[in-house]
Amino acid sequence: MTNEKRKPAKALNATLGERTTVRRRTAAKKETAKGGDHVYDTLIIGAGFAGLGTAIKLREAGVHNVAILERAAEVGGTWRDNQYPGAACDIPSNLYSFSFAPNPNWSRSYSGSQEILGYVHSLVNDFGLEKLIQYQQNVTRVELDDTQGLWMIHTDSGRVWKGKTVIMASGPLANASFPKIRGIENFKGKKIHSAQWDHDYDFTGKRVAVVGTGASAIQIIPELVKKVDKLKVFQRTPAWVMPRPDFSTSEFSKKVFAKLPFTQKAIREALYWTHESMALAVIWSSPVTRIGERLGQAFLKSQVPDPWMRRQLKPDYKLGCKRILVSNDYYPALQKENCELITWPIANIVEKGIRTSEGIEHRVDCIVFATGFDVPKSGTPYPVLGVGGRELAKEWQRGAQAYKSINVSGYPNLYIMFGPNSGPGHNSALVYMEQQIAYAVKGIRTILDSNLKMLDVKPDVQAKHNANIQKRLAKTNWNSGCKSWYLTEDGFNATMFPGFATQYAAQMGKFDVKAYRQVKADVVA
């Protein structure tokens, strides 16, 4: 195994937040891939955090014959797509970044999406990943040739990519979802989804509706209200909102972090354990949950003096059941003179606006849909065909299942980043991601070192793992009765991991080759 040396943090620092220094691709990248018959050791789908992080760690483990297939013309995944006004991460940047690529220059505790995108670009530059990335390769099918033990990835460019192993790192929040509201197609004004922002649309002086009051909406609303003539916020379910301890980083701190990296590491550790302790409130119903609920109610009371409005904004489900939101400016924005909170259910969308169930037509120039994503809880983002042509989407129809969130029986040598039951509700997604990457690298190294045609998790092992996960999930707040994107229509939780991040790390830390059926590759004389 070779250990690639990482370039010093200098380059990383230089590129952060300066996306102009990074060539933005507007046209297809010149074809640099090897010939159509070339077999890669690993094909990675997606050049977001997970795909790039896996490429870095694979190369550290000596796997260099790798290509990253990216559907867009730029890296960044969710942070490339979610560039709506106010977009930021609700996990502190010192924890929402790779532990192996610290950035001493985060401008604030909760950085904005531009800055996070800058960090992603810096990973590409500093770890020399550019040459691995094949842009505008939108995957249309992933299919196993089980006679050869090779995965064939079809893209809409007409190419077929061959790989011994595959990392599906296309992300669970990759596909924007417009709600199924009657008449949505009849609206004659402008429709914008939060994850497909139209930066050319001028909101100044417009009458605008925002549908949704989730994590994206509460960041958009405070920004839009500053620009528009009238903002109408359509809330279906109020969220638990907590204060956001957001501070700018002083130049002194940045210098200390750069000179003495252990200081930043110590802060990351402190943030990690603070978030871990939140699991006690978020995941399970406990006295800490009740304390959290009181804190949320006190915050609401401190920010919203009007009792009627408070009643409208008070959640009627357990803290943690849906994602907890953090914002200091959401409640104040709702109380601005040009903002109106509408809690009547939406009946339908008409040519000129939104009609609510009590019969009022709210006329607007633009509707912003902050309505979330089409999360593959019971399907796959593209057809995935495994041993004997079996189709993953069919097997997942009633809810996705995997072994340790990453492998699925019948789909050997395929690793799914943020697969079933890997979601965190209380800690940084990147903490979980690093564990998934390390696990996948161990699996891939095993396949390559032992010259395996297939390393396929045994179905009984997978079933036992899932029975245990579902048993544990039954006791969590997520399964306590509210509706959320974590659950399928039938209430099956295919999304969240029922435990601390430390428990997830313990689960992923052990790669037990005995859990897998091994098929040796044919020896060619």
Residues lying near ligand NAP in the complex (CB under 6 A) are found at 88-91, 173, 179, 181, 194, 211-217, 234, 236-237, 323, 346, 370-373, 483, 485
Q: How far apart are CA 315 and CA 239, in angstroms?
A: 6
End-to-end CA distance of the chain: 27
For tokens 């810096």, what's the residue? 122
> Among residues 238 and 443, whose Cβ is nearest to ligand NAP?
238
Token duo for residue 219: 């960041």
> Among residues 184 and 258, whose Cβ is nearest to ligand NAP?
184
> Among residues 236 and 314, whose Cβ is nearest to ligand NAP?
236
Please report how close the Cβ of residue 326 comes to ligand NAP at its closest, in angstroms: 8
Question: 371 φ, ψ to 5°?
Answer: -105, 15
Token duo for residue 286: 């406990």
Q: CA of 256: how far to CAs of 10, 100, 110, in Å? A: 14, 18, 19
Please report how close the Cβ of residue 185 comes to ligand NAP at its closest, in angstroms: 14
> Among residues 88 and 168, whose Cβ is nearest to ligand NAP?
88
> Among residues 334 and 457, whose Cβ is nearest to ligand NAP?
334
> Among residues 91 and 282, whose Cβ is nearest to ligand NAP?
91
Please report how close the Cβ of residue 345 comes to ligand NAP at its closest, in angstroms: 8
The residue nearest ligand NAP at its CB is: 214
CA angle 206, 313, 109 (to 5 degrees): 80
Please report how close the Cβ of residue 180 comes to ligand NAP at its closest, in angstroms: 6
Token duo for residue 111: 């950085």
Please report how close the Cβ of residue 434 comes to ligand NAP at its closest, in angstroms: 17
Q: CA of 424: how far to CAs of 116, 257, 486, 498, in Å? A: 19, 27, 11, 8
> Among residues 151 and 478, whose Cβ is nearest to ligand NAP?
478
Count other C-beta atoms under 10 Å from residue 378's C-beta: 16
Q: How far apart are CA 465 and CA 239, in angstroms?
A: 32
Which residues lie closer than 8 Å to 184 by C-beta, 6 or more apart?
178, 191, 349
Bridge partner residues of 207 (DSSP): 230
Sign of CA dihedral 401, 498, 502, 126: positive
Please report how close the Cβ of residue 268 comes to ligand NAP at its closest, in angstroms: 17
Q: How far apart are CA 58 and CA 55, in angstroms?
A: 5
Please report how close the Cβ of residue 483 comes to ligand NAP at its closest, in angstroms: 6
> Among residues 289 and 327, whose Cβ is nearest to ligand NAP?
327
Please report how close the Cβ of residue 89 comes to ligand NAP at its closest, in angstroms: 4
